[in-house]
Amino acid sequence: GIQVEQSPPDLILQEGANSTLRCNFSDSVNNLQWFHQNPWGQLINLFYIPSGTKQNGRLSATTVATERYSLLYISSSQTTDSGVYFCAVASSNTGNQFYFGTGTSLTVIP
């Protein structure tokens, strides 16, 4: 299968700070998504980004498929950004099933 590594595993920020979350993967992928899991367990879609750059409000993401990594940027963080951020990938080389990283746990303090 594909190895998906996320860093850092834990992050504590002051409200208003910026952060960068990283996702490295071990094979070429045809699908990559970023999710935010809220305290009730719901996975919220952030970005569908197998390649390129996208922005949505205070969040943006970049995937450099040739170098096998993706970055999620959070600017002007708010307490509601707290939670776990997951990167998930799928590859036709490994049966097209999805592999999730272990997540980055973000805590934003007021």
Partner 1 sequence: KAGVTQTPRYLIKTRGQQVTLSCSPISGHRSVSWYQQTPGQGLQFLFEYFSETQRNKGNFPGRFSGRQFSNSRSEMNVSTLELGDSALYLCASSLGPASSYEQYFGPGTRLTVT
Starting at the edge strand found earlier in the chain, the sheet holding 59-64 runs: 4-7, 19-25, 69-74, 59-64, 52-56
Here's the x/- map for partner 1, 12-51, by CB under 8 A: it reads as ------------------xx-x-x----xxxx-x--x---
Measured CA distances, 14 to 8, 28, 79, 95, 96 (Å): 16, 35, 9, 41, 39
CB of 15 to partner 1, least distance (A): 27
65 binds partner 1 (CB under 8 A): no
- C-beta of 1 vs 16, nearer to partner 1: 1
Smallest gap from Cβ 95 to partner 1, in A, equals: 6
